[in-house]
Amino acid sequence: MHKVNFVFTKKFKVALTYNVKPEEDPAFKSHSQHAYSIDKDEYAEWDTYETIHAIRDALSIYNDVTLVEADNNCFESFRQLKPDIVFNISEGKNGISREAQIPAILDMLEIPYTGSDPLTLSTCLDKGRTKEILTFHKIPTPKFQVVKTIEQLKNFELNFPVIYKPLQEGSSKGIFDSSVVDDFFELKEKIGIHIERYNQPVIVEEFLSGREFTVALLGNGEETKVLPIVEMRFDEFPEELNPIYSYEAKWIYDTPEKPLNIYNCPADLDKALEEKIKSTVLNTYNILNCKDWSRIDVRLDSNGVPNIIEVNPLPGVLPNPDNNSCYPKAARTAGLDYSTTLNMVLLSAMRRYGMQ
């Protein structure tokens, strides 16, 4: 692991903005038995204090860092604090604007921030819109249908098996082992329940049974780095589970005490496939105007062609390697430790704003 010594042009005032999981609050804990159960995936995307503090500590090596919770008072906090730049990991709350809320506020206040702008964040949160754009640009992505009401299933034309997921979620929220479906009647029944439960449309996609990868990208323009590719090896998976990276796989079977051994980084790839995956994710990153960093999920179709599953412009960065957080895992394989990686994200944003 090589330590990069950064040269920031001065000590900047950095605000780290975040949403903390409610179960981190002692009052919440006393009312709940277990933070991660099937019916408690509501705040799956929010962060723990372990992550928030690890990021703060990493950024504090070079700059002055203040925590700003992305709550209803944050507009005033930013106005008073006047940070030089905001390191944004806030996932926001309420609907499709949620990831865009902090960047939109910061655009209004003319405060620079790390990561993508409101348009990219909202677009990528809507898996259907993202796939429409990718399809226009001829980037392979599984065939799909967005279903707002059960009646729309009468035009159903996809080949089984399919996988259904909430249209606008992340962190495997609403994607369970049972989300892979083989027949139409089962699909119809399950989708009705899902639309109601998650209060949003469902996206149904043809199921790609090939190898799965996730790819971390860092930087902008010509300098964008594709970090070593992570493969999820489903042959190492508990036998009773479908070969998908479901909520159960991510949050129940994979714990720091007993980590799932399904990740292979760097993935074992022949040169041609590696180049194809890299060019596909890089094109996707640029087409969607991703900034500074992102993690892009890829799966091979039956012809071995890399297809884009989804784009995460606010990648999770859990600090403990045993948590198998894929962005830090890819960075570590590239020789970049946790603090180096986060400071590189900050530097990318500063360069973009002409601050470096």
Phi, psi of 240 (to 5 degrees): -75, -5
* Closest separation in Å from C-beta 325 to Mg ion: 12
**Binding residues among 208-267 for ligand ATP as defined by CB under 6 A:** 208, 212, 244-245
Secondary structure (3-state) at 221? helix
* Closest separation in Å from C-beta 301 to Mg ion: 17
Say how far apart CA 331 and CA 334 lie, in whole Å. Answer: 5
Say how far apart CA 117 and CA 107 lie, in whole Å. Answer: 9
Among 297, 334, 346, 350, binds ligand ATP (CB under 6 A): 297
Among 211, 299, 329, 332, binds ligand ATP (CB under 6 A): 299
Residue from 45, 312, 96, 129 nearest 200 by CA: 96
**Binding residues among 123-152 for ligand ATP as defined by CB under 6 A:** 142
* Closest separation in Å from C-beta 206 to ligand ATP: 6
Say how far apart CA 273 and CA 213 lie, in whole Å. Answer: 12
* Piece of 89-97, 187-195, 207-215, 269-277 that binds ligand ATP (CB under 6 A): 207-215
The answer to whether 189 touches 202, Cβ cutoff 8 Å, is no
91 binds ligand ATP (CB under 6 A): no
Which does residue 163 bind out of ligand ATP, Mg ion, none, counting CB within 5 to 8 angstroms by kind?
A: ligand ATP
Secondary structure (3-state) at 97? helix
198 binds ligand ATP (CB under 6 A): no
* Closest separation in Å from C-beta 207 to ligand ATP: 4
Which does residue 212 bind out of ligand ATP, Mg ion, none, counting CB within 5 to 8 angstroms by kind?
A: ligand ATP
Q: Closest CB to ligand ATP among 38 and 61?
A: 38
Among 51, 224, 312, 340, binds ligand ATP (CB under 6 A): 312
For residue 322, the tally of other CB atoms under 10 A from its CB is 12
The answer to whether 20 touches 47, Cβ cutoff 8 Å, is yes
176 binds ligand ATP (CB under 6 A): no
310 binds ligand ATP (CB under 6 A): yes
The owner of tokens 């400071």 is 343
b (16+ CB within 10 A) / e for 274-286 = bebbbebbbebbe
- CB-hemisphere CA count at 13 Å for 255? 8
For the window 280-299, what string marks contact with Mg ion as x by the rule CB under 5 A? Answer: -----------------x--
Among 19, 114, 172, 323, binds ligand ATP (CB under 6 A): 172
b (16+ CB within 10 A) / e for 83-96 = bbbbbbbbbbbeeb
The tokens of 118 are what?
């409101």
Site for ligand ATP, rule CB under 6 A: 142, 163, 165, 169-173, 175, 205, 207-208, 212, 244-245, 297, 299, 309-310, 312
Site for Mg ion, rule CB under 5 A: 297
